Amino acid sequence: DTLEDVKEGNLVSFEVGAGQKGPAAMKVKLVK
């Protein structure tokens, strides 16, 4: 599940803003 979550987070990250990895992913995860 962790790997899947990371992959999904990365995809959402790109949608939110390509290049913004890390804090953005955490925010996305929190939103999810």
> What pLDDT is stored for residue 25 in this prediction?
57
Give the Cα separation of 1 and 15 in Å (integer).
21
Amino acid identity at 6: V
Structure-token pair, residue 16:
């939110």
- Model pTM greater than 0.85? no
Q: Other CB atoms closer than 10 Å to residue 28's CB: what's the count?
A: 17
> What pLDDT is stored for residue 3 in this prediction?
61
Structure-token pair, residue 15:
């949608």
**pLDDT tens, position by position, 1-32:** 566 666 665 655 555 555 555 665 566 666 55
Q: What's the full length of the chain, in residues?
A: 32
